């Protein structure tokens, strides 16, 4: 199949509406567009740089946790949540009541991502795994009544107050088994020599078009990108997350997906996707460089603390995964009394590592502001 001759599918008449039936994607693909080949080359080179760089970063697992926090925040914001990363890394009891539902949605995403990466060690990337992820994603949040962990058994739609004025109506639920099987076969078809970045771009489009769940399809589809890259060993560490790029270019993201369905224009979607990989990989490299620089500065600054240095080092490592803390966090993590913890916090404030954000005398919260800012950019 030449990508320039791609046919996206057809509309099928149902009872009182037409649903879209996408074509099979498990076929041999031929890239016959020079722009795509050029963008693919640039994206692959940049992805290789990110992969190499992430393996050189000391204690990289600490920082990957923050990348996952950022991905969860951005992917959920595309779906309408208002939580920011500073709130996401706080404890639930410190979140304002009106923000707790959004906070929970983002943390479900984090839990789903962590579970999925762990499960890839023993399970293939498949519909079974996606359903497991979906069950976690929908737990205790809006959408929890919409058959978590199960494919839909009714018609859904995108946009519009009802199916009558919907922007897009995905395939009828009776088509899902065949479409999901085709998706899985495409993922694991080793005879298909289509480049992996092209493959995952097509997979993401197809998954979003199938829309197999009643809710949460956007987040699952974006998770699928990182999981594919990790599963195929393209990334040694899960360091590439495209939701930030999609969120910053939200209208283009939806417009390009729609353009594939309505005009069979796969080329424009592939160009957008590959540009996203290139920019996101470069941003991740820049973030890692900034982390290394900040880490070196902070570790140099705490050498002034003399006998308190071992405790301060432990505290820094904790802050790399928990950059917003309170007194209880410090006492519990370092297993020290409150007086010692308060003195350590005071020392880190004087060194401009920690900053108090509540203005209270009690129940104060402290932020590793410079570090958190790296994931807000």
**All structural domains of the chain with their residue ranges:** 3-287, 305-373
For the chain, strand residue ranges (E) read: 9-13, 18-22, 324-326, 355-356, 365-367
pLDDT tens-place string over residues 178-193: 999 999 999 999 888 8
Q: What is the pTM of this model?
A: 0.93
Quick one: tokens of 351? 């060194």
Nearest to 155 by CA among 9, 24, 8, 17: 17
- Coil, helix or strand at residue 217: helix
Same-fold call for 3-287 versus 305-373: no
Q: Give the span between the Cα atoms of 338 and 83, in whole angstroms.
A: 31
The pLDDT of residue 145: 76
Task: Report in angstroms the alpha-carbon separations of 277 from 119, 195, 201, 222, 270.
Answer: 25, 14, 10, 13, 10
Q: Which residues of the chain have pLDDT under 70?
A: 143, 377
Specify the CATH class of 3-287 in words. Answer: mainly alpha
Q: What is the CATH number of domain 305-373?
A: 1.10.10.10
The pLDDT of residue 377: 61
- CB contact set of 171 (below 8 Å; sequence gap of 6+): 12, 19, 20, 21, 22, 179, 209, 210, 211
């Amino acid at each position: 199949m030449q990508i320039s001759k791609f046919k996206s599918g057809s509309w099928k008449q149902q009872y009182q509406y037409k649903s879209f039936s996408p074509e099979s994607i498990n076929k041999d693909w031929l890239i016959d567009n020079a722009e795509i080949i050029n963008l693919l080359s640039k994206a692959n080179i940049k992805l290789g740089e990110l992969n190499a760089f992430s393996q050189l970063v000391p204690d990289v697992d600490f920082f990957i946790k923050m990348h996952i926090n950022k991905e969860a925040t951005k992917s959920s914001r595309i779906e309408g949540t208002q939580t920011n990363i500073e709130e996401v890394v706080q404890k639930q009891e410190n979140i304002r009541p009106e923000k707790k539902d959004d906070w929970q949605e983002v943390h479900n995403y984090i839990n789903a991502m962590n579970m999925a990466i762990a499960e890839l060690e023993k399970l293939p990337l498949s519909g079974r795994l996606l359903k497991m992820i979906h069950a976690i994603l929908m737990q205790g949040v809006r959408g929890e009544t919409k058959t978590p962990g199960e494919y839909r058994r009714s018609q859904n739609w995108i946009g519009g107050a009802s199916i009558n004025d919907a922007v897009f109506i995905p395939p009828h639920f009776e088509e899902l088994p065949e479409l999901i099987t085709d998706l899985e076969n495409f993922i694991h078809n080793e005879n298909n020599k289509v480049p992996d970045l092209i493959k995952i771009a097509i997979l993401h489009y197809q998954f979003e078009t199938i829309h197999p769940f009643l809710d949460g399809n956007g987040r699952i589809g974006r998770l699928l990108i990182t999981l594919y890259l990790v599963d195929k060993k393209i990334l040694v560490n899960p360091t590439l997350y495209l939701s930030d790029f999609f969120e910053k270019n939200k209208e283009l993201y939806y417009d390009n997906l729609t353009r594939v369905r309505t005009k069979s224009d796969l080329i424009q979607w592939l160009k957008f996707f590959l540009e996203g990989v290139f920019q996101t990989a470069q941003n991740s490299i820049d973030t890692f460089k900034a982390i290394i620089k900040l880490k070196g500065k902070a570790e140099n600054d705490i050498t002034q603390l003399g006998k308190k240095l071992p405790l301060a080092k432990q505290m820094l490592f904790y802050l790399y995964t928990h950059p917003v803390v309170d007194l209880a966090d410090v006492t519990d993590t370092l297993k020290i009394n409150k007086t010692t913890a308060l003195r350590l916090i005071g020392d880190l404030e004087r060194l401009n590592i920690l900053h108090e954000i509540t203005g209270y005398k009690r129940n104060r919260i402290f932020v590793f502001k410079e570090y958190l800012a790296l994931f807000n950019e």
